[in-house]
């Protein structure tokens, strides 16, 4: 069936019919967000690993003081938010690829979003508690 | 099971094994493992905020033999996802698509992840272990 036949049938522009179907829902939005968060995580991930290694065997006071430093607190929150964002984008693709029963797919997609938002908020709250309590 | 009636692609055993198949599926697997591992980051920060006792409990759990094995696995997953992720970003820029380059960069990601994991754990073990 060509685009011409569709137009004759329901007299809508082919673009109007295609909108909202398939990848036309969000275009390359998901793909691009995944790449941007990936690029951010290359930097933030390497910084996080080095920071954790520097805190090897640190006692409670030292670890707390390190996290409370403004730059560390800022980058930790940035790392946590980006990490959960990137994780949700990746898990979403895996679920869409392998879960073929629609209701299970939707439940899982919503569940990972709930968990990721909770995780991101909990990380930010924990860092703020450490950074803002003397 | 599937409620759609779409045609299926040939099963995996049809294809000759290539390193790119392995890096592709392991990239997904390590991504899933790291998504679970992200909960460890939250736990760590949460326990550090909660006070000294919680922090020490957290440290003793991740410092136990079982915790150390999990950490080694997670660190390798992180380094593989990092190396192979950089490889994918370079490919997204349109580079490295010749088949020999594609194969070589796959092996490079595997080797890079192993080297980084060994380096990090050599440092941790010479410094006296996790906790």
Residues 2-31 of A with CB under 8 A from B: none
Assign 3-class secondary structure to B23-37. Answer: HHHHHHHHHHHHHHH
SS3 B90: helix
Whether A130 sits inside 8 A of B46 (CB atoms) is no
Residue found by looking up tokens 């693709």 in the block: A93
Q: What is the pLDDT of residues B30-40, one digit of tens each?
A: 999 999 999 99
Is the Cα dihedral A99, A103, A106, A112 positive or negative? negative
Quick one: which of A90, A76, A72 has its CA closest to B34? A90
pTM: 0.87
Q: What is the pLDDT of residue B2?
A: 54
| Band of pLDDT at residue A107, cut at 50, 70 and 90 | very high
Quick one: which of A81, A47, A85, A82 has its CA closest to A66? A47
CA distances from B90 to A94, B84, B94, B96, B97 (A): 22, 10, 7, 7, 10
- Minimum-distance CB partner of A35 among B2, B31, B92: B92
d(CA B22, CA B34): 18
Q: What is the pLDDT of residues B47-83, one digit of tens each?
A: 999 999 999 999 999 999 999 999 999 999 999 999 9
SS3 B96: coil
**Please, which residues have CB within 8 angstroms of residue B6's CB and are 6 or more apart in sequence?**
none
- Minimum-distance CB partner of B49 among A94, A119, A130: A130
Q: Does CATH number 1.20.1300.10 belong to domain A27-132? A: yes
């Amino acid at each position: 069936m060509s685009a011409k036949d569709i137009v004759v049938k329901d007299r809508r522009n082919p673009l109007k019919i295609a909108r909202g179907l398939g990848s036309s829902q969000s275009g390359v939005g998901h793909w691009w967000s995944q790449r941007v968060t990936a690029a951010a995580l290359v930097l933030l991930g390497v910084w996080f690993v080095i920071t954790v290694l520097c805190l090897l065997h640190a006692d409670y006071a030292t670890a707390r003081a390190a996290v409370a430093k403004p730059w560390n607190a800022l980058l930790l929150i940035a790392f946590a938010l980006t990490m959960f964002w990137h994780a949700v984008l990746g898990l979403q693709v895996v679920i869409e690829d392998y879960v073929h029963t629609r209701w299970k797919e939707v439940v899982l997609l919503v569940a990972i979003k709930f968990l990721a938002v909770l995780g991101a908020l909990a990380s930010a709250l924990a860092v703020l508690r450490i950074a803002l309590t003397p | 099971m599937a409620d759609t009636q779409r045609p299926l692609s040939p099963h995996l055993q049809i294809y000759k094994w290539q390193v790119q198949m392995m890096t592709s599926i392991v990239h997904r697997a390590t991504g899933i493992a790291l998504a679970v591992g992200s909960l460890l980051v939250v736990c760590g920060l949460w326990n550090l905020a909660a006070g000294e006792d919680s922090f020490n409990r957290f440290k003793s759990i991740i410092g136990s033999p079982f915790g150390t094995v999990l950490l080694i696995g997670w660190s390798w997953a992180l380094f593989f996802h990092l190396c192979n992720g950089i490889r994918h970003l370079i490919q997204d820029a349109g580079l490295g698509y010749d088949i020999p380059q594609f194969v070589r960069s796959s092996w490079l990601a595997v080797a890079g992840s192993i080297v980084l994991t060994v380096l990090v754990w050599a440092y941790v073990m010479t410094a006296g272990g996790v906790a």
